[in-house]
Amino acid sequence: MTMDRPEDKKKFVRDKFASISSRYDLLNSLLSFQIDRYWRWRTTRLLSRFPEGPVLDLCAGTLPLALELTRQAKNRHVLAVDFCEDMLRSGVKTLPRDDRRQRIFPVCGDGEEIPAPANTFWGCTVAFGVRNLSRTQQGLNEMHRVLRPGGRLLILEFSRPRNPIIKPLYNFYLNKVLPRVAGAVSGDQEAYEYLASSIAAFYEPEELLAMLRAAGFETTERKPLTFGIVTIYMGIK
* Contact call for residues 22 and 92 (beta carbons, < 8 A): no
Domain annotation covers residue 63: yes
Domain annotation covers residue 166: no
| Structure confidence at residue 27 (pLDDT) | 85
Which backbone phi and psi does 232 adopt, to 5 degrees? Answer: -100, 125
Q: Would you list the DSSP string of 128-153?
A: S-GGG-SSHHHHHHHHHHHEEEEEEE
Q: How confident is the model at residue 70 (pLDDT cuts 50, 70, 90)?
A: very high
| Structure confidence at residue 207 (pLDDT) | 98
Report how far residue 113's alpha carbon sits from residue 141's, in angstroms, rounded to the nearest whole number.
Answer: 10
CATH classification at residue 20: 3.40.50.150
Report how far residue 183's alpha carbon sits from residue 31's, in angstroms, rounded to the nearest whole number.
Answer: 12
| Structure confidence at residue 4 (pLDDT) | 67
For 171-185, the pLDDT digits (tens) are 999 999 999 998 998
Domain annotation covers residue 185: no
| Structure confidence at residue 198 (pLDDT) | 93
Domain annotation covers residue 41: yes
**Domains in the chain, number:** 1
| Structure confidence at residue 51 (pLDDT) | 93
Report how far residue 4's alpha carbon sits from residue 7's, in angstroms, rounded to the nearest whole number.
Answer: 9
Q: Has residue 141 got a pLDDT over 90?
A: yes
Q: Has residue 78 got a pLDDT over 90?
A: yes
Mean pLDDT over the full length of the chain? 94
Q: Has residue 126 got a pLDDT over 70?
A: yes
Domain annotation covers residue 190: no
| Structure confidence at residue 31 (pLDDT) | 83
Euclidean distance between the first and final Cα of the chain, in Å? 37
Q: Has residue 2 got a pLDDT over 60?
A: no
Report how far residue 111's alpha carbon sits from residue 94's, in angstroms, rounded to the nearest whole number.
Answer: 23
* Contact call for residues 119 and 207 (beta carbons, < 8 A): no
Closest by CA to 59, choosing from 79, 80, 39, is: 80
Task: Over range 151-160, report the average pLDDT.
Answer: 97
| Structure confidence at residue 185 (pLDDT) | 86
- Read off the pTM: 0.95
Closest by CA to 55, choosing from 98, 14, 22, 100, is: 100
Task: Over range 15-32, report the average pLDDT.
Answer: 88
Closest by CA to 231, choosing from 223, 196, 32, 37, is: 223
Report how far residue 159's alpha carbon sits from residue 140's, in angstroms, rounded to the nearest whole number.
Answer: 18
Q: Has residue 29 got a pLDDT over 90?
A: no
CA 181 to chain centroid, in Å, comes to: 22
Which backbone phi and psi does 76 adopt, to 5 degrees? Answer: -90, 140
Other Cβ atoms within 10 Å of 143 Cβ, number = 28
Q: In terms of residue numbers, what domain contains 224?
A: 6-160+205-236
Please give the share of the chain, as a percent, with pLDDT higher than 90: 87
Q: Has residue 161 got a pLDDT over 80?
A: yes
| Structure confidence at residue 28 (pLDDT) | 85
Other Cβ atoms within 10 Å of 96 Cβ, number = 10
Q: Has residue 1 got a pLDDT over 70?
A: no
Domain annotation covers residue 59: yes
| Structure confidence at residue 129 (pLDDT) | 96
Task: Over range 196-208, report the average pLDDT.
Answer: 94
Report how far residue 84's alpha carbon sits from residue 193's, in angstroms, rounded to the nearest whole number.
Answer: 19
Domain annotation covers residue 14: yes
Q: How confident is the model at residue 30 (pLDDT cuts 50, 70, 90)?
A: confident
Q: Has residue 3 got a pLDDT over 80?
A: no
CA torsion sign for 224, 120, 49, 73 is negative
Domain annotation covers residue 76: yes
